[in-house]
Amino acid sequence: MFDYGVLPPLMFLGMILFMLYGFPVAFSLAAVGLFFGMIGIFTGHFDPVFLQALPLRIFGIISNDLLLAIPFFTLMGAILERCGLAEDLLEGMGKLFGRIPGGLAYAVILVGAVLGAITGTVAASVITMGVISLPIMLKYGYNPRLATGVIAASGTITQVIPPSLVLVVLADQLGRSVGDMYLGAIGPSILQVAIFLLFILVLSIVRPKDIPALPLEARGELNAALVIKVLAGMVPSIVLIFLVLGTIFMGLATPTEAGALGVVGAMALAAMHRRLTWDLVRQGMHSTMHITSMVVFILVGATCFSLVFQGMNGGLWIEHLLSHVPGGAVGFLIFVNIFIFFLAFFLDFFEIAFIVIPMLAPVAQSLGIDLIWFGVLICINMQTSFMHPPFGFALFYLRSIAPRSVKTSDIYMGALPWVGMQLILVAITIFWPETVTYWLDKTPPPDLDKVKIEVPGFGGANGGMSLPPLGGGNQPGLPQLNFNEPPKVNP
């Protein structure tokens, strides 16, 4: 463990202690990095030349075009959170599915998936669906644990469904295309929704009293007006999803450009619902500025930490430590996912992505693991950080809007089955990588050993490049060259 010195392990331990103490993450990372950098200089374990690269790395963060997608997607989600789209979707879908046991739960899961594809933010999905659906579920006899669990879980689907901010950050840290990361997340997203729906189906058969159907006076008649209302909420959402994701997948726009199109589409939807006001735009820009500033400061702190950590052979220490995990690539993936699962009890997904992923990516690549598969797998795992007690943010959001009759213990206990289903998806993705790689481009990279560069032949009969014949015969050409005669010199 100490083959590369004691400073890398101590540096990693110091980072954990600073965060557990409660210091802001960005400043903790920078302080630990610079502090251990000075210790390394005095002890001869760190070359101060490395610090010359720090201004350039910070400038590279500020000028990174890919990270521009974060404020665009954040602003899009902030506008859609307030434009009334979720309310219309939930009301229509709830009435459409309300006639069957578990109908409201089905509606919440499906609307959560749609909101995930157009907003990409957990807070917006959980709070919106909680405010609208939770009182109705409790009023008509839903088990409080099941009601709170399905709302929290459906909100966290947004972390896996493109255009998730987590996928953008992971693509940047892994050095891979955001479009490929989005394509790789399609399969796990569909599987996650299917697992949730299957759980509700089984529960409606085994314990129908916990998820009863809505009475007729609550759901209304199934008629053309209800279908039109549901379509009126779904069609604009599908158009916006194509505007954001379709343009990326078809190569018509970069993620940053697609995010800008998404903001325009979100404003158009808000105008359709007659809620596009200066106050709404101002609130959206305020939350966008807050999140973007946080991301940039964490990135600056993380680059200070990683620069010193790598300069003291910390990367080699991590690689040496994890490359000896039994089980090869699968054993490495299992260990990493268990490690991140417990790390997510204390750290936010931004912090995990900026601190831990740069250390793990070289090891994964050396073991022959596809980094798109690795990134999507980590993203699936990190969505549990919003769900498991005691620091699951989705549970905090739900507690803030839930009535006092719902106990906090019910919210925590209700989240556990859904965390288990998310971990089932992690296991499926580890042992069945085709869930991710099936959607990626199957075109093999060119074999450089077989690449031929052919130059058109000289004097060919097929119209190739040619020179006149070198003299002789009956054809005009260059003068006859006789290499046996000495050259003639004119006096």
User: Nearest 5°: phi and psi at 354?
Assistant: -85, -25
pLDDT above 70 for 448: no
Look at the block and give the residue holding tokens 């972390």. 159
231 occurs within a structural domain: yes
- Burial degree of 185 (CB within 10 A; 0-12, 13-18, 19+): buried
- Write down the pLDDT at residue 489: 52
CB neighbourhood size of 444 (10 A) = 6
Residue 353: inside a domain, yes or no? no
Residues 118/128, Cβ–Cβ less than 8 Å: no
Least confident segment among 67-76, 208-217, 307-316, 383-392: 383-392
**C-beta of residue 186 within 8 angstroms of C-beta of residue 434:** no
CB atoms within 10 A of CB 491: 2
Residues in the chain: 491
Is residue 489 in a domain? no
How confident is the model at residue 2, as a pLDDT? 45
Q: What is the pLDDT of residues 113-162, one digit of tens each?
A: 887 777 666 766 777 777 777 888 888 788 888 888 888 888 888 888 88
Q: How far apart are CA 264 and CA 262, in angstroms?
A: 5
User: For residue 116, what are the domain limits?
Assistant: 66-293+370-437
Residue 487: predicted pLDDT: 53
pLDDT of 30 > 80? The answer is yes
The whole-number average pLDDT for the span 218-222 is 67
Q: Which two tokens stand for residue 101?
A: 């046991």
> Can you give the pLDDT at residue 219?
66
Q: What is the pLDDT of residues 43-95, one digit of tens each?
A: 877 888 888 888 888 888 888 777 788 888 888 877 877 776 767 777 777 77
Comparison of pLDDT for 422 and 26, the residue scoring more: 422
Q: Cβ(195)–Cβ(147) under 8 Å?
A: no
Give domain status of residue 459, yes or no: no
Q: What is the pTM of this model?
A: 0.75
Q: Is residue 249 part of a domain?
A: yes
Q: Assess whether pLDDT exceeds 50 at residue 330.
A: yes
The per-residue pLDDT for range 179-219, each reduced to its tens digit, is: 888 889 889 999 999 999 999 999 988 888 888 887 776 66
Distances (CA, A) of 469 to 71, 460, 463, 474, 475: 67, 12, 15, 10, 7
**Residue 451 lies inside a defined structural domain of this protein:** no
In a domain, 385, yes or no: yes
The pLDDT of residue 124: 66
Angle, CA 307 vertex, CA 305 and CA 310 arms, to 5° = 105
Look up residue 353 and give its amino acid: A
Domains identified in the chain, total number: 1
Instruction: Determine, yes or no, domain membership for 414.
Output: yes
- End-to-end Cα distance, the chain: 84
